[in-house]
A and B are shown apart, each in its own frame.
Chain A
Amino acid sequence: MGVLAYAVAGWLVIVGALGMLRSRNLVQATVALSVAQSGTYVFLLAIGYQWSATAPVFSSGSPPTNQVVDPVVQAMALTDIVVSAMVTALLLALTIQIEKTHRTLDPDELQRLKG
């Protein structure tokens, strides 16, 4: 795809990382991590996309000589989404426990792991 898609992908990763860096709330940091990961989805799909190509589905009606988009990166993006769901769920569960045990979600006030 065009440069635009790659620019969007890079921007999402950078914004996500900056979001984590400046976060004052762990829920926000978790979402920022998801934003950074969304950058990888856009990036992977942009690699395999072709204008004027069809979905990579072959049947008796469509001869396999057609131009199709790359299914490998789509499979990778799907795997990536599964990974993301797992990580996000775990992080949110940990965030709930941090709220219960520390009574705060602000990284600036979590002062126990020093030195």
Chain B
Amino acid sequence: MYQGPATALAPLAVALPVVLACVVLIVERWASRRLADLLAVGTTVLVFGLTAALVAATRDGRVVTWSGGWVPRGGLSVGIALVVDQLAAGIACLAAGLTCCALLYSWRYLKTARAHYQALMLLFLAGMVGFSLTGDLFNMFVFFELMGVTAFALTGLHIEEPDSVQGSLNFAVINSLGAYLSLMGIGLLYARTGQLGLAQLGARLAGRHADGLIVAAFVLVTIGFLVKAAMVPLHFWLADAHAVAPAPVCVLMSGVMVELGVYALARVYLTVFSASIPAPVVQRTFLVTGLLTAALGSVMCFAQRHLKRLLAYSTIAHTGLFLIGFALLSPDGLAGVALYVAGHAGVKGALFLLVGVVLDRYQSVDEGELFGRVGGRHPACWMFLLAALALAGLPPFGPGLGKAVTEEAAATAGHPWLVAVFVLVSAVTGGAVLRAGLRVFLGRGHRPEPIEPVEQMSGGRKEPETENTLRRTPLTMLVAIGMLLIGSTAVGVLPGLAAAVGRAAAVFGDQAGYLDQALFAASAPPVAAAPVAWWSSSGVLLGVASTVLAAVVAGLSLYAHPLVPHRLRSHLAAGFEVVRGLHSGHLGDYVAWLIFGAAGLAALIGLPLLP
């Protein structure tokens, strides 16, 4: 165990935004709005620095902090710990960086916004940092709820808009129900072991046969995280929430909150359950659900007209790919997913902010209404098209590197056909975004027909999120978008960063090391053969291939409309109507799907383990 100044970093990174959130509220009330803005951005920069220092400190092993100094004796403990490894510190760092960009973007933003917007963003950050750093299952639930409640409130920030409050309510109810199921699972584990720490739980469950209680606990605990990760069929809230949330909030939700669901699934399985629930069962389960998520996300993404909803479904499709990467349960798979998450966060964040810029100027997020209105001379144009290509996997951007590394991991694990899935999903989602960009900015192809709001949510005639309609895009907004794009590029071009992620992924999956370091203060074991996470020639080729395919998809959907035979088109449309009809926006339906999803997960994991 590391004993030095770094043990103070982790609690500081969680506590600082909570305290500063309160200070920001006071400052806004008694001093000025500008000062509150400055304070909020300063806090996120500080948290970014703290978590970056944690990343550096965890190079040689985990940093373990026992709150109140209740250190374990002889492997027994009554304390609560923060156990930070490099991947945990890295994702906390990502959260801080994204929050910084989001707050910078909203410098002159949000008309009703008083300082409670900044305070909520800081609390949201505190929840995400705490969630990724904690080494205690119950604290995971608490931080899960903290980031949940702040996200619900931020989604419904425009309380006078009908869509906004409805989307926020769906989001809140489904996520809360998932969280309570998680709590039941935590209770079951506590009843069996008398422990709540991840390390202690892992030690107690090691080598036990996975009986009914352990399977039930695993399914219940993960169902909350999978709701957050928007796994099909628990994904319905995501599109509703992203369609109505302000653009900077979407950056945080799509960029890191959803991915934290996958992170928590990997953390809990690898640390607690890996010695009792056999790996092949988990692999099969999450391969199946990941494929389903990726497929449904891609189809729905392609069929959207509402720009924010289009990006939301693309996030769902990518989360499916992350789930598949996790299901490989290998260090190189995890390294690929970690790189993919980092690269995806920058690109997707930039895309959401660009849609926000367009909304504030033209008061619409509908592809048809915006057709050709924005024009190619707007600075957003080239950024949007570039980000679309990066999303499709163009080298040397971050998403392309993550995709390439994960594809190689899949091929090594004996599933070479997964490479085709990765290429196809990247091409379809990237192609859909590219098509939207070409239509909105350059007016290519034909103008899509207006849609009936009774059939599908339309993004026309929306209020801008800024105080007034923007005539020019402020520099702060463009700087924030540029920072996100540069960050995403950095993931793909810095070999040192990728190598560090490879090492971190090898440490992340090492259960014995986690237990030894958390409970027995052992020194870090040498990392066993860290995977090589860098571009290979086949990775570059596949990245180029998926980008070209994305361009083909975009071109076909823009120009080939009359070429496709009418009968085929109507068949496709009918099939799509069935899928789209499931996304009803109805609360009761979503709850039913949640129950169905939990039962399905229990069947997928429990049935193969029956004696």
A interface residues, Cβ below 8 angstroms from B: 13, 17, 20-23, 26, 29-30, 33, 36-37, 39-40, 43-44, 47, 72-73, 76, 79-80, 83, 86-87, 90-91, 94-95, 97-98, 101-102, 107-108, 110-115
Complex CA distance for A101 and B456, rounded to whole angstroms: 20
Contact check, A36 vs B191: say whether CB atoms are below 8 A apart: no
Cβ of B391 under 8 Å from chain A: no
Complex CA distance for A47 and B213, rounded to whole angstroms: 14
Contact check, B184 vs A112: say whether CB atoms are below 8 A apart: no
Complex CA distance for A98 and B141, rounded to whole angstroms: 28
Chain A residues with Cβ below 8 Å from B530 are: none
Whole-angstrom distance from the CB of A57 to the nearest CB of chain B?
A: 17
Chain B residues with Cβ below 8 Å from A91 are: 169, 172-173, 176
Report the tally of A-B residue pairs with Cβ distances under 8 A: 138
B interface residues, Cβ below 8 angstroms from A: 138, 142, 145, 149, 152-153, 156, 159-163, 165-170, 172-173, 176-177, 179-181, 183-184, 186-187, 190-191, 196, 239-240, 243-244, 303-304, 453-457, 580, 583-588, 591-592, 594-595
Complex CA distance for A43 and B188, rounded to whole angstroms: 9
Complex CA distance for A61 and B424, rounded to whole angstroms: 71
Complex CA distance for A26 and B377, rounded to whole angstroms: 47
Chain A residues with Cβ below 8 Å from B152 are: 90, 94
Chain B residues with Cβ below 8 Å from A108 are: 586
Chain B residues with Cβ below 8 Å from A20 are: 173, 177, 587-588, 591
Contact check, B163 vs A113: say whether CB atoms are below 8 A apart: yes
Contact check, B592 vs A21: say whether CB atoms are below 8 A apart: yes
Chain A residues with Cβ below 8 Å from B187 are: 40, 43-44, 47, 73, 76
The dominant DSSP class at the B interface is: helix
Contact check, B588 vs A112: say whether CB atoms are below 8 A apart: no
Whole-angstrom distance from the CB of A60 to the nearest CB of chain B?
A: 22
Complex CA distance for A83 and B152, rounded to whole angstroms: 13
Complex CA distance for A79 and B243, rounded to whole angstroms: 32
The chain A residue with its CB closest to the CB of B582 is A115
Contact check, B176 vs A95: say whether CB atoms are below 8 A apart: no
A-B contact pairs, 5 of them (CB 8 A): A20-B173, A44-B183, A107-B588, A114-B583, A114-B585
Partner of B138, one of A26, A39, A76: A76
Complex CA distance for A111 and B581, rounded to whole angstroms: 12
Complex CA distance for A107 and B169, rounded to whole angstroms: 11
Partner of B457, one of A33, A76, A115: A115
Chain B residues with Cβ below 8 Å from A72 are: 190, 196
Whole-angstrom distance from the CB of A87 to the nearest CB of chain B?
A: 5
Chain B residues with Cβ below 8 Å from A94 are: 152, 156, 159, 165, 168-169, 172
Most buried by A among B159, B239, B304, B580: B159
Complex CA distance for A94 and B187, rounded to whole angstroms: 30
Contact check, B166 vs A98: say whether CB atoms are below 8 A apart: yes
Complex CA distance for A79 and B138, rounded to whole angstroms: 10
A-B CB proximity, top 3 nearest: A113-B585, A115-B456, A101-B162
The chain A residue with its CB closest to the CB of B580 is A115
